[in-house]
Amino acid sequence: MPFRLSYLMVLVALALPATAQDYNGEVRTAFTRVQHLKRGINASEWFAQSSNDYSAARTGRYIDAQDIAVMARLGFDHVRLSIDPVPLEQWPRGKDGFNADFVGRLDRAVDTMLTHGLAVIIDVHPEDSYKQRLSSDEGVDRLTMIWRRLAAHYATRDPELVFFEILNEPEVRDAYRWAGIQERLAAAIREVAPKNTLIATGPNYSDLADLLVMHPMGDGNVIYNFHFYNPHQFTHQGAGWGETWWSYTHGIPYPAPESGMQELLNQVPDAAGRYKLENYWLDHWDAHRIRLLMDEAAAWGHENNVPLTCNEFGAYRQYTDPVSRMNWIRDVRTALEADGIGWTMWDYRGGFGVVWKEDGQPARVDDGVVEALGLKR
């Protein structure tokens, strides 16, 4: 009986259409390659998010080859390289349709990372105004064209180590429209880069809840991504973007005892803001709660037989108690690792950074963050 059952299984496998067999092989490839994305760092505000200053003078002093060596030495295995698509198309353009100077600097960054044994996520990371254009078909057409050219350019590197992230936090509220856009962009990438693994995301801001509304794509060689900054009352205290009342807050501890709640609530002048902040204590944020949320992500991955990564998580450091910040980073990191989910911390030298650095100067490593990430200096 076991022999007959085994024989029947072989016949069934041989009878599967080629596309089904190919899809399963692609999924296996994605599961293999996600092992290169266990512990990563975001190289943010370098070739993206820089207030339109992408000059060689600025990018050359913001992060340099010495910084990439630091990333590798600290034990990171990959870098998420954020790229604003706008400077890619600035004049003068080369035959590939891109600004040769900007792309040349990108190439040096990518190749230096690969030389240090780091995998690289090519992350298209536009400003909000650019993403708003995805509400029109013309905006989708333009991003499709950019990805076709960008993927062709980087398909010449090792596909084991170069990943294509379709779009950072798409901010498309209609989950079905975003699913269609993402499938189209993926198809355009596949036309010119059949071997590279893609990184896909849910709609809106790529939160965990956005991951859970997704359905796996038709392409099997895909890793699914989500971002984690919960609770924002803690991770974004003092931030001058997002909700206005965040900018009033500082010194909010994690985990937070209710004994100091009222004093900290008094930082916020309006009742609506105080109500939102109060929920931080009422929701009892701690390591257990974070682990339960990561379990939700892991369950979605298992149910859909797809690999996962969390390629943004972090806490704004300017107004946050360092011990509380390390507690939160450690709890998130250990929860992800307990569920077998790789991570990419936000970020290298910005407001959520793992180092302190002045332009053109050597970086000073934050030993507390390194310890919280489970790395060794």
Q: What is the CATH number of the domain that holds 300?
A: 3.20.20.80
Is position 264 within any domain? no
* DSSP assignments along 169-230, one per residue: S-----HHHHHHHHHHHHHHHHHH-SSSPEEEE-STT-BHHHHHT----S-SSEEEEEEE--
Q: Is 169's pLDDT higher than 90? A: yes
- The verdict on pTM exceeding 0.95 is no
Amino acid at 72: A
Q: Is 6's pLDDT higher than 50? A: no
pLDDT at 55: 96
**Beta-bridge mates of residue 137:** none
Determine the distance from the C-alpha atom of residue 212 to the mean position of all C-alpha atoms in its chain, rounded to a whole number.
Answer: 16
User: Sorting pLDDT into bands at 50, 70 and 90, what band is 50?
Assistant: confident
Is position 244 within any domain? no
pLDDT at 59: 96
Q: Provide the b/e sequence for 190-201 (b: ≥16 CB within 10 Å).
A: bebbeebbbbbb
Mean pLDDT, range 290-315, rounded to an integer: 98
Is position 14 within any domain? no
Is position 210 within any domain? yes
When divided into structural domains, the chain yields a total of 1
Phi, psi at 361, each rounded to 5°: -110, 155
Domain limits for position 214: 21-233+286-372
Is position 67 within any domain? yes
Is position 267 within any domain? no
In the block, residue with structure tokens 């307990």:
338
Cα–Cα distance between 10 and 172 in angstroms, integer? 44
Q: Over the chain, what is the mean pLDDT?
A: 94
Is position 51 within any domain? yes
**Beta-bridge mates of residue 356:** 364
* DSSP assignments along 271-321, one per residue: HHHHHHHHHHHHTT-SHHHHHHHHHHHHHHHHHHT--EEEEEE----TTS-
Is position 16 within any domain? no
User: Sorting pLDDT into bands at 50, 70 and 90, what band is 2?
Assistant: very low
Share of the chain above pLDDT 70, in %: 95
Q: Provide the b/e sequence for 330-340 (b: ≥16 CB within 10 Å).
A: bbbbbbbeebe
Reference 146, options 85, 193, 102; nearest CA is 85
Identify whether the C-beta of residue 201 lies closer than 8 Å to the C-beta of residue 167: yes
